[in-house]
Amino acid sequence: MPELPEAETIVRSLRGHLEGARITRVEFRSARVSKSDPARLAGTTVAGVNRYGKQILWELDRGWVLVKLGMTGALLWNSEPGPYTRALVELTNGHVCFDDIRQFGSLSVMATPPNTLGPDPLEITSAAFAQRLRQRDTEVKKLLLDQKFVRGIGNIYADEALFRAGIHPKARTRQISAARARGLHLAAAELLRTAIEHRGSSISDYVDAGGERGSFQSLHLVYGKEGESCRTCGSAIRRIVVGQRGTHFCPRCQKRT
DNA sequence: CTTAATGTTCCCCA
DNA sequence: TTGGGGAACATTAA
């Protein structure tokens, strides 16, 4: 559920509640949600809540908590714990439920913040993005999904960015001109910024920390639109599989070279 | 019953 | 080291 715009929306809706609050008790209700000891968190104060790609990082006065939302993870402020609540964090002023149906998400306590992922697409320049892209040789969609290449783009926004840039998802990165690679970055950055303004995409169950859905799904042009007419040329949107992920594109508007 | 789902990781092969 | 391909993880919905 969470890509960059959704993670950013969760951060913005959670930060005001957490910053300055002290954690009083943490409970892990599923063995697979965390390998850390919940007792280590009691007594720490939250200094900051930030996004790292599509992940969410809590800065504590002593250490860090990295929340990976997986496919169905949600951080909910003061919601009623339910059957899918995998972790419960109680603070002086309220509590956070980490709900996650499929349990691909996790919560880890770290001594230092992570730094293993690639640059944030909203921070890197188009020229640097194009240079990085052109020194690789693979299908462009696979590269966009590689968090070590850029952090934060997932299946929805990869398809939408490639459509907006007019690039075929299976285009070889080596064969994309520098100008088109820069255009891909510009399209992706504008897409992500607009999606943030719309508080993300809620296609199945994504909600922010207040339980609110996003609205950007109404502006999707190809994702989940197989068989529908392309808004630009009228051709039928096609669905193929790239890197084991469902991939949606317009066969006429999106070029391989 | 089968397939697919906003993700990541591990394994094997070239 | 890079890239390709596949399986696995857990759960729900169509």
A16-50 residue pLDDT tens: 999 999 999 999 999 999 999 999 999 999 999 99
Q: What is the pTM of this model?
A: 0.97
Mean pLDDT computed over A144-154: 98
Residues A104/A62/A6/A167 CA torsion (nearest 10 deg) = -80
A81 catalytic? Reply is: no
Q: Is the separation of the CB atoms in A209 and A14 below 8 Å? A: yes
| DSSP symbols for A53-79 | TTEEEEEESS-EEEEE-TTTEEEEETP
Nearest of A59, A55, A26, A28 to residue A43 by alpha carbon: A26
Q: Is the separation of the CB atoms in A110 and A63 below 8 Å? A: yes
Mean pLDDT computed over A97-104: 97
In chain A, residues under CATH classification 3.20.190.10 are 4-110
Distance from CA of residue A115 to its chain's centroid?
16
**Residue A153, nucleotide of least CA–C1' distance:** B6
pLDDT at A205: 86
In chain A, residues under CATH classification 1.10.8.50 are 126-249
pLDDT at A167 over 90: yes
Q: Is the separation of the CB atoms in A10 and A63 below 8 Å? A: no
pLDDT at A173 over 90: yes
Total residues belonging to chain A: 257
pLDDT at A204: 85
Q: The domain A4-110: what is its CATH number?
A: 3.20.190.10
A182 catalytic? Reply is: no
pLDDT at A1: 61
A134 catalytic? Reply is: no
Q: Which CATH class is domain A126-249?
A: mainly alpha
Binding residues for strand B (Cβ < 7 Å): A 1-3, 6, 53-55, 68, 70-71, 102, 104, 145, 147, 154-156, 200-206, 239, 244-246
DSSP-based three-state secondary structure for A233: coil
pLDDT at A226: 97
DSSP-based three-state secondary structure for A249: strand
Q: Is the separation of the CB atoms in A39 and A64 below 8 Å? A: no
